[in-house]
Amino acid sequence: MKWNIGNVEIKNQVVLAPMAGICNSAFRRIAKEMGAGLIYAEMVSDKALLYKSKKTEDMLYMKDEERPISQQIFGSDKESFVEAAKIVCEKMHPDIIDINMGCPVPKVAVSAQAGAALLKNPDKVYEIVKSVVEAVSIPVTVKIRSGWDSNTINCVEVAKRIENAGASAITLHARTRAQGYSGSADWSLIKKVKEAVSIPVIGNGDIKTCYDAKKMLEETGCDAVMIGRGVLGNPWLIKECVDYLDDGTLPQRVSAKEKMQMLKRHFELLCKDKGEKLALLEIRTHALWYIKGLPGSASIKNQICQTKNSTELFNILNNYIEEL
């Protein structure tokens, strides 16, 4: 089902979450190949952009085939948010700017008083969103959590402020900052937010299967579902959700061989973007997710972590496939 964020048309209701350290261009292209309707790039720091950090500027790398794409920014004051948004638009030309007001990690939410910390001040939320909306010509969205902790669940109030500030959509991860990624997401809060605003609402939290995606849409009335940790080592979840929501197609078992082939493709994309040395470092983490639960995975796990070049890695994977 097609829907829109501002003037950006999105072809289906499956959205890739902006996972830090994960959602670089290589991973996003795999998600797009799997059919993701909208992709969020991993968050970048407003201050790092202002200080012209090369590492942060490199994170803005993308290819046109990833569109429509949203670039997420985190920070703590409206002036730097505005300047960072302008820099992102100038250097990256994304389709959407997303403001992070949900990150729970201490480095962001406590030390920097950014991310989910902003939820404690709805007036500040309004000012930041309004300022960014006025500063750029593309749609601005906001990703929030349900509140700081169980005693301060204020997502409905914050969502209303966000809409009044001119945002084009809201994503709610239905956990508090205190929960982190533990416990369960309270989908009833997504429903309350959807009922409180007229702009699109994207639901996030605990989408592990295509059945979860359909259930969230039906229970909450949200416009789309955002999938994060469920796709780690399993990008097929995106296709399963797209197909099941589209026409009820049931998911098919993904073979060990398919997983190894995807791991190889993922590595090849990383190599093209970052070079072999960095690609080897990054693929190790992804490899552990791809091989989790596969027969004999313990034996190749150590081998993969000790590889020194692409030839060694491909030999390990090819040998594993032959032994299946």
Look at the chain and report how many structural domains it folds into: 2
Average pLDDT over residues 208-218: 98
Question: Which one of 186, 219, 247 terminates a domain?
Answer: 247
Residue ranges making up the domain that contains 285: 256-323
CB 207 within 8 A of CB 238: no
Same-domain status, 193 and 317: no
Q: Give the pLDDT score at 210.
A: 98
In this predicted structure, what is the pLDDT of residue 312? 92
User: Residues 121, 87: contact at Cβ < 8 Å?
Assistant: no
- Rounded alpha-carbon distances, angstroms, from residue 286 to 68, 162, 233, 240: 24, 35, 6, 20
Selected catalytic residue, list 23, 89, 103, 222: 103
Type of residue at 34: M
Q: Is the pLDDT of residue 324 over 80?
A: no
Q: Give residue 298's pLDDT.
A: 83
- Which region holds residue 68: left if phi is over 0, alpha if psi is between -120 and 50, else beta? beta
Instruction: Read off the tokens for 78.
Output: 């409206």
Structure tokens at 213: 């995606």
In this predicted model, what pLDDT tens digit does every residue of 16-29 receive, in sequence order?
A: 999 999 999 999 99
Is residue 158 located within the same domain as residue 55? yes
Claim to verify: residue 213 and residue 268 sit in the same structural domain = no
Asked if residue 236 and residue 103 are part of one domain, the reply reads yes
pLDDT in tens, 34-90: 999 999 999 999 999 999 999 999 999 999 999 999 999 999 999 999 999 999 999
Pair 54, 36 in one domain: yes
| Domain-terminating residue out of 218, 247, 276 | 247
Residue with tokens 């505005």: 82
Compute the distance between CA of residue 144 and CA of residue 183 in angstroms, rounded to an integer.
17
Separation of alpha carbons 204 and 17, rounded Å: 8
**β-bridge partners, 98:** 72, 141
Amino acid (one-letter) located at 279? A
Residue 241 appears among annotated catalytic residues: no
pLDDT value at residue 176: 97
Q: Are residues 171 and 302 in the same domain?
A: no
Q: How confident is the model over 228-287, as pLDDT tens digits? A: 999 999 999 999 999 999 999 999 999 999 999 999 999 999 999 999 999 999 999 999
Identify whether residues 185 and 70 lie together within a single domain: yes
